[in-house]
Amino acid sequence: MVTNLAAVVGCFLVGGVPVGLLIARACGIDDIRKYGSGNIGASNVLRTVGARPALVVWLADIAKGALPTLVAATLLHLGGWWYAGAAFATILGHCFSPYLRFAGGRGVATSLGVLLALDWRVGVLALSIWIVLTFVTRYISLSSILAALSATPLYWLFNGTADIELLVCILAMGLLIAVRHAPNIGRLLSGTETKVGQKAKELQEDAEDEQQADEG
């Protein structure tokens, strides 16, 4: 019992490491939460800092989702609801980081890492859906929401209800990602969401110029 609880807490703490904030700071951005979407994830790093730092953040966020989940299963031998709880705690840590006063990111890349650890086939297919939708729409947020929600039926397709605990975990993950994207959904509906290839700083400058013009 104590070991299982410690594993869940450990997953939460590892998931909470704000990689995007740290990488952006190393690149000269004091606090990436002041730019673009205000998110600490790879998509905002891409818009604000550039492609290479964003790739580092993306891979690191995937790793911090996959590795704790794998450790919980292979080394600590967690199963059932404890295993599902440990996996979900990793995502919760990213979304509500204890190092950022329980603020955080959207949990997309970390969730991908968890999916790859739970069933690599589901992770690969969800990533493929994300890639196709991003290429077609150029909206990372929309692609992330739809890819995350697709994970539940994909997991059911491969595993049925044999591991109902993990199915519930993946469903909760998809819903959490959708809720965390509420501001993005608002911007999508208003037509102000940033597309791939647009810099967050440029958008902010354009908005300021338009505001000054209106005031003039």
Higher pLDDT, 137 or 36: 137
Nearest partner of 32 among 15, 14, 45, judged by Cα: 45
Handedness of CA 68, 108, 178, 22 (dihedral sign): positive
Whether residue 184 lies inside any domain: the answer is yes
Residue-wise DSSP of 117-167: HH-HHHHHHHHHHHHHHHHHH--HHHHHHHHHHHHHHHHHHHHTTTTHHHH
pLDDT at 204 over 60: no
Q: What is the DSSP letter of 97?
A: B
Whether residue 52 lies inside any domain: the answer is yes
- Structural domains in the chain (count): 1
Determine the residue type at 88.
Answer: F
Whether residue 40 lies inside any domain: the answer is yes
Structural domain that includes position 134: 2-198
d(CA 170, CA 150): 10
Nearest partner of 91 among 23, 37, 22, 144, judged by Cα: 144
State whether residue 103 is helix, strand or coil.
strand
Whether residue 203 lies inside any domain: the answer is no
Whether residue 48 lies inside any domain: the answer is yes
Nearest partner of 156 among 169, 147, 167, judged by Cα: 167
Residues 6+ apart with CB under 8 A from 177: 106, 107, 108, 111, 144, 145, 148, 149
87-126 pLDDT tens trace: 999 999 999 999 999 999 999 999 999 999 999 999 999 9
Whether residue 214 lies inside any domain: the answer is no
Nearest partner of 137 among 194, 176, 177, 183, judged by Cα: 194
pLDDT band per the 50, 70, 90 thresholds, residue 214: very low
Whether residue 210 lies inside any domain: the answer is no
Task: Identify the top-confidence range among 40-49, 135-144, 148-157.
Answer: 148-157
Whether residue 180 lies inside any domain: the answer is yes
pLDDT at site 199: 60
